[in-house]
Every structure is written in C-alpha cells, then in structure tokens.
Amino acid sequence: MNRPKVLVFIDWFLPGYKAGGPITSMRHMISHLHQEVDFYVVTRNTDYQSNEPYDAPCNKWIHLETYHCYYLKDSDLSKDSLRTVIDSHEFDMFYINGMYSKFFSILPLDLLKADKRPKVVAPRGMLTPSAMAIKPLKKKVFLTLARLSGKYKDVVFHATNEKEKSHVLNQFSKARVLVAPNLGPGLTPRENCSKSKGVLKLIFLGRTAPEKNTLLAIQSLKNIHEGRLELDIVGEVYDRSYHQLCLKEIEGLPENVKVSFKGSIPPDSISNTLQSHHYLFLPTKGENFGHAILESFMCGVPVVISDQTPWSYCQDEGVAFVQKNESNLIEATLRNLMSQNQADYEQICGKVNVFAQNYVKNSAAIEQTKTLFKLN
C-alpha cells in the first residue's frame, strides 16, 4: 500500500525553531509517522522574526531525510505560488497549521474550498481563552466571517485534548473534531545534577510574552532575599514593550537573585540546557499542550507550572509543583524547592524518570494521530 501524500502548510519550519510549539508539534509528528505518511511541507525560507534565508533552494521540492520541503521567499508568497504547490503532486490530503496566517492558513483553505480531498486544520491553541484575549476584536470578526462564509465547513479539526475540542466547538458548533495529543520527543537519560540546600536553578523555556507570564515569573522572585536563585529565560522576545517591563522588574530584584535572557536555542540544544537546571519554571496563562513541559519530563527534569496546562495531574505523580498564578503562592513553592538537598531532589528526579518511561510506554497518542490520516 502506498503511503498517503500529505501537503502540510506551516508558516515556519525546520531548520527554524524560533516559532516554538507549532514547529515542535510538526517535527515530532513527522518523526513518528514518516514511514507511514509521505509528508510534503510548504513553508517560508526564513525563521520567525529573521530575514536570514536558509541555505536551501526555493520554489522547488527538495527531499530531506524524513519529508519533502518547499521553501518560499516572502516576496514569492501569493495565491499563484500556493496554487503551484498544491498542483505539484497528486496529494491525498492537506494539513493546515494555525488559523490566522494569510498565506499558510487562510489562502490555502480558499484555494481548496471546492476540493473534495480531506482537509485537517490544527488550531494550535489559537482558540483558547488566553489566545483569544490577544487582539480579541480582530479575531472575533475573523471567526464570525468564517462561520458565515462556511470557511471551515468541510474540514476536520485536530484538537490535542478534550479542552481544545471544546474551544473549537465554542466557535464552530457543528465542526468535526478529532482529538490526538501532540507527539513527544524520545527519552534523554540525565546525568546527576547537583542540588545544594539554599540553591535553585530555574529555566523558563518559552517566548517572552504576556500569555507566557514571563513578568509574573520574575515578580515572584522579588522577596527571596536568602540563598542563591538563578532564572534563565530561554526563548524569543515576542513583545518588545512587555520585555521592557520584565527588564525593569529585574532591576529591583535582590542581589542573590540572577535573571538572564538567553534568547532562542536550536532544538538539539534543548535537552542539555534543561538538564543543567533543577526545574522548568513556567507560570503560563494557558497552554494548549505545553511542549516544554513534556520535553522537561523526557529529560528527567521536574517542573513548576501554573494550573492552566493539561499537565496539572502530574502533581499527584510527584513530578510537578502546580500553583495558581499568584506571586505569593509561587514564591512559597520556590522557597520550598530552595530548601531541598541532594537526596530530596534525587528522589523527585527518580519519579520523573519513571513517569517519562511510563508515558512513552502507555501513550496512545501515535494511534490517535494515525486516525487523522486514516491509517487505522
């Protein structure tokens, strides 16, 4: 049986990494399913917020190890160029990442409106309440017009959990929605990480933006005057004015607290970077999935997270500290973690290793994802 040919539309993709979750989601999907699905990815030839082109030819299909890729310059993005891509092969179905991108979400659906081949749309968390709170009027107008025009009438939505399914149905009550969790990375064995009482090394792995609550993460450190606490913020700065608020907050922190913005790092550096810290620290306002959290578990690193992610149940597993997004409550949690010694910390890391192994062993995510491509 021939593998189905699937054309994937995504704004930014490998070798880029600065756009975060959507790239990670697609990268893992291809990694797990490339032997059963023939993936063709059309994307920009630059990374997010970059003008530096990739070292790859544009306007032609190139065969990479596990997929085919078609890079487009910004100057070449048009209805005609997308039509050329769509007509370049006899594709069996189409997979569209996101909702609001003109060239990689909206125009593809317009061009495929009369096409009877299956179309899957992955909202990628863009319909969550926290995401809808950003530029709400513009999004409400777009979604209202989409409902009136029947833009999503013949598509299948890919939700990564039941909560996201409910968000889709809130906007499109008659939509067909399939639930398939995002696929995760493989296990990465962790070397022992030394932990002394009174010392805490945290990593915030995510973009600097209001929805990620970077500012609250910093504010929760302002009353910790004893011991030594380090917070490394790893990710793109999405909101410059918000970043300035964060920098101003850092100026008022105690001398024993050090906060550093590290910028984005390539995917192959994430494991080592996580493993050089004691905890992932992510008091996010909301996560559709939370790739950073799963990556952290797969690296043997426990997490401190808000109660606005699908991973809250992990507190019962002893691998996560889940807290409401209030600075005094987060501060109390961090003080508790600072007081841990080596033995305390190793006990938690042992639970993380067991949790990660069981997650990989028992995950039904691959079989659920195959349903999207009618492979089972």
Please write the tens of the pLDDT for every residue from 114-157.
999 999 999 998 998 888 988 999 999 999 999 999 999 999 99
Contact status, residue 111 vs residue 86, Cβ threshold 8 Å = yes
CATH 3.40.50.2000 in the chain, residue ranges: 5-183+364-372, 199-361
Determine which helix (DSSP H) or strand (DSSP E) holds 195, and give its type and residue range.
none
- The SS3 call for residue 168 is helix
Q: Is 298 exposed, middle or buried (0-12, 13-18, 19+ CB in 10 A)?
A: buried
pLDDT tens sequence across 84-105: 999 999 999 999 999 999 999 9
Q: In what order do the strands lie in the sheet with 93-97?
A: 61-63, 68-72, 38-44, 5-9, 93-97, 119-122, 156-159, 176-179
What's the CATH code, domain 5-183+364-372? 3.40.50.2000
- Report the 3 state secondary structure along 301-334: CCEEEECCCCCHHHHCCCCEEEECCCHHHHHHHH
pLDDT for residue 277 is more than 60:
yes
pLDDT of residue 40: 98
pLDDT of residue 193: 81
Q: How far is Cα 13 from Cα 346, in angstroms, rounded to an integer?
A: 37
Q: How far is Cα 10 from Cα 24, in angstroms, rounded to an integer?
A: 12
Instruction: Assign 366 a pLDDT band (cuts: 50, 70, 90).
Output: confident
pLDDT for residue 28 is more than 70:
yes
Instruction: Assign 33 a pLDDT band (cuts: 50, 70, 90).
Output: very high
pLDDT tens sequence across 198-225: 999 999 999 999 999 999 999 999 999 9
pLDDT of residue 362: 62
pLDDT of residue 20: 82
pLDDT for residue 175 is more than 90:
yes
| pTM for the predicted model, two decimal places | 0.74
pLDDT of residue 191: 74
pLDDT tens sequence across 280-314: 999 999 888 888 999 999 999 999 999 999 999 99
Look at residues 256, 246, 214, 221 and name the one whose alpha carbon lies nearest to residue 328.
221
For the CA atoms of 343, 344, 346, 347, the dihedral, rounded to the nearest 10 degrees, stands at 110
Q: What is the mean pLDDT of residues 326-332?
A: 96
End-to-end CA distance of the chain: 13
Q: How far is Cα 278 from Cα 231, in angstroms, rounded to an integer?
A: 10
Contact status, residue 367 vs residue 180, Cβ threshold 8 Å = no
pLDDT of residue 376: 58
pLDDT of residue 364: 80
55 HSE (CA, 13 A, CB side)? 0
Protein fold of 199-361? Rossmann fold (3.40.50)
Q: What is the mean pLDDT of residues 166-195?
A: 88
pLDDT for residue 375 is more than 90:
no
Query: In whole numbers, what is the pLDDT of the chain averaged over residues?
Result: 93
pLDDT of residue 1: 57
